[in-house]
Amino acid sequence: SVSLSATNIYVDLVDGKYFQGRGPGTHAHRHALENEHYVWMHLETGKVYCIPDDYEVVDASLDDIKYNLHPLYTEDQVLDLSTSLRLGKSLDGADYVPGCVGLNSIGTSDYLNVVVQTLIQCIPLRNFLMMYQSPLKPDRVVTTLAELARKIFNPRNFKGFVSPHEFLQACSVATKKKFFTTQKDPAAFMAWLLTRLHTFLKDKKTGKSILNRCFEGEVVVR
């Protein structure tokens, strides 16, 4: 959102813009009044509200939107990604392959997109992210990356591309805007991201994480 806050964020279901809060004086409230856009969804809960009247909207026609906000998969569905191909169909009728969709470039954040696209092709890491459940004290970078992976492989997407805005914002906050919308070295971002993931995902006893299982090499002495 324009407030650069990751808490209490709502999306305008008319134009797709993100703002914080829904009460009087908030960015979302102001945008609703200025543009006459009254239907908003909370990004964490998926609940839909009318702003500025401040009541919850309950309608079955919104179920597809709620699913696309937080797509969920069973373990069997995740395993099937490696053995079966299921085409998705966007609202404009075009077919797309889940997992092979584009990512919006926000500013010049294509350096981030290429790293994400590379990492999610690693099957063990992809499967881990698809089934990841946030702990009581989650790391925002890990959580938003897992959510982005689930959206990239979602066969029910409305479009054949996905926006990484939440993950980008989480990385921006974690690095104090070092990695945000200006061009950066993809290798530097990947090094930072892998270190961040390992730090928050490693087992306290062994010090190992999914990153070790995926990328740790071996030295052969002859």
Report the distance separating Cα 222 and Cα 220, nearest Å: 6
The residue with tokens 């992809």 is 126
Query: 62 exposed, middle or buried (CB, 10 Å; 0-12, 13-18, 19+)?
Result: middle
43-81 tens-digit pLDDT: 888 999 999 899 999 998 888 888 888 898 999 999 999
End-to-end CA distance of the chain: 56
Q: What is the mean pLDDT of the segment spanning 17-45?
A: 90
Residues near 215 by beta carbon (within 8 Å), at least 6 away in sequence: 122, 194
CA 187 from centre of chain: 21
- Residue 20: band (very low, low, confident or very high) from pLDDT cuts 50, 70, 90: confident
- Integer-rounded Cα Rg, in Å, for the chain is 19
Residue 21 has pLDDT above 90, yes or no: no
pLDDT interval class at 220 (50, 70, 90): confident
The residue whose two tokens read 């030295």 is 219
More confident residue, 21 or 192: 192
**What are the pLDDT digits (tens) for 77-110?**
999 998 888 899 888 889 999 999 999 989 999 9
What distance lies between CA 184 and its chain's CA centroid? 20
Query: At residue 18, does pLDDT exceed 60?
Result: yes
Residue 3 scores a pLDDT above 60: no
Token digits of residue 117: 């696209």
Number of neighbours of residue 4 by Cβ within 10 angstroms: 11
Whether the pTM exceeds 0.85: the reply is no
**What does the pLDDT read at residue 41?**
92
Q: What is the pLDDT of residues 175-199, one digit of tens each?
A: 999 999 999 999 999 999 999 999 9
pLDDT digits 0-9 by tens, 147-182: 999 999 999 998 889 999 889 999 999 999 999 999
**Amino acid sitting at position 45:** T
Strand, helix or coil for residue 10: strand
Give the max Cα distance, the chain.
74
CB atoms < 10 A from the CB of 49, how many? 19
